[in-house]
Amino acid sequence: MQALEQYINSKYADNILQWFEEEVKQPEHINNISKVLNNKDYLKGIHKVLNREDMTYKGETYEVRKTIFQTVKSLINFFNGYILAKPVSLGGTNEDMVKTYNRVYRLGGYDKLNHDILDRLLKLGCAYEYVYYDGNKIKSKLIASEDGYPIYSEDTGDYIGFIEHYTSDSNKVSYWNVHYPNKVEMYTDEGGHIHLVDTKVSFGLPIVYENKENIDEVNVTLLDDIKPLLDEFEDFMSKLGDSIYTNSINPILTLTGSMLELPKGVSADACGFLFNIDNGGEMEYVTATMDYNTIKLYLDNLKQMMYDIAEVPSIIFGQSNVANVSETSIKMMYSKANNKASWYRYILEEGYDQRNEVIRHILSLTGRTYSDDDYINIEFNYSIPMADTDVINNLHTQYTDGCIDKQTYIELSPLTKNVDSVMGRLTDNTGVPTGTHQNQVDGE
């Protein structure tokens, strides 16, 4: 595999000292950053429908509707909650190792971090996590998706380096944090020239979460799949709103024949005025008649297509009748959501495994070592609608059959809020000396 130093020497032989400045300008990076920024603008409400041109009628400007729907945010929030509303569970072969990792996750705020990673993955297609040790506890920080430039080997496609690059809005100074497997070099152009500011020890490269099938592809998001349909929906609804207002709610009064008496001072807000017209003349309001069934069919199919592409149960957004729906029917409704969630789960699991290896390395430097055969297993707890009674009955059956132990029963029970506290009280009540349990707690 091509190492980062080899990559630099072969690609930037004429500018080895400041190679990172040229690297961030490569087309693949520019395309990815542009994609991220465009998606962020779209989520802020900058949609294609805003480009609709206003009309001029009789010298006056008629402002056409520019209706914006933020449906994609609801779809993204659904998957974020579906996959990670319930925190991931940590298991493994070594009980002490599992307790230690649970403590690291709790102190480092990793439940919230996991949620933020998936949120960026769904919205922007990529997320970057940097694990470090602040001298007291293990923590992670997220690098902004628009500031991340992962580097891949040219021969094998393996991940070999990372650049965090951004420019401050206040003073227009640029910064480059160049990540090697064992160090981070920090550069800036403050003062008019690029120079090294600091070098810090690193425990590994930032963890890359990317939603793409091949290394050469641009990151793909749920937003990319839904955006064309939302653009069509917004354009149609905006034009439909204009049509209803101008042609139906505000009809045009037409007169055939001569008016015998011209009303004076007729207010647009008044009603009940009498108009005298010539014998044989006609006066009527002309309105546009819209085909309701055609419009409804079009809109219903458009909305259903959005839910199908997003693989979100339409029942979530009130598109189906949920009365007397059985547990089996609910699981069938969520089958497509499970398929979509599984894809993101694999991406997250790969990143979590890399994070756990970095944590293992940091723990070894602080005196906590584990054998190569010990590992941490990540278990996702999808938020599938299910009655607590059904969950408890299933756990009780497995526990009675000897398929799970008591601690697993307690961990998975929807009625348990603090597993350690419950396990501690149960241990004390069984007659085991409290000192034994207390030593285990202190040993965390």
pLDDT tens sequence across 341-362: 888 999 999 999 999 999 999 9
The predicted model scores a pTM of: 0.78
**Residue 366 counted as domain residue:** no
Determine, yes or no, domain membership for 404.
Answer: yes
pLDDT at 146: 95
Q: Are 28 and 216 in contact (CB under 8 A)?
A: yes
Burial call 233-243: b when 16+ CB within 10 Å, e when fewer: bbbbbbebebe
418 lies in which domain range?
Answer: 388-444
Number of structural domains (the chain) is: 1
CA distances from 376 to 89, 93, 363, 365, 372 (A): 10, 7, 14, 18, 11
Predicted confidence at residue 404, as pLDDT, reads: 84
- Whether 420 maps to a domain, the answer reads yes
Domain annotation covers residue 399: yes
In-domain check, residue 329: no
Half-sphere exposure of 79 (CA within 13 A, CB side): 29
Given a cut of 80, whether residue 215 has pLDDT beyond it is: no
How many Å apart are CA 295 and CA 288, to the nearest integer? Answer: 14
Residue 202 in this model has a pLDDT that exceeds 70: yes
**213 pLDDT exceeds 80?**
no
**To which H or E segment does residue 208 belong?**
strand 207-210
The pLDDT of residue 436: 41
Most distant CA pair in the chain: distance in Å?
109
**Tens digit of each residue's pLDDT (9 = 90 or more) over 50-76:** 999 888 766 778 888 898 888 888 888
Residue 301: inside a domain, yes or no?
A: no
> Residue 435 has what pLDDT?
40
Instruction: Grade residue 439 by pLDDT with cuts at 50, 70 and 90.
Output: very low
State the Cα–Cα distance between residues 112 and 151, nearest whole angstrom: 27
Is 422 within the bounds of a domain? yes
What pLDDT does residue 42 have?
Answer: 92
407 domain residue, yes or no? yes
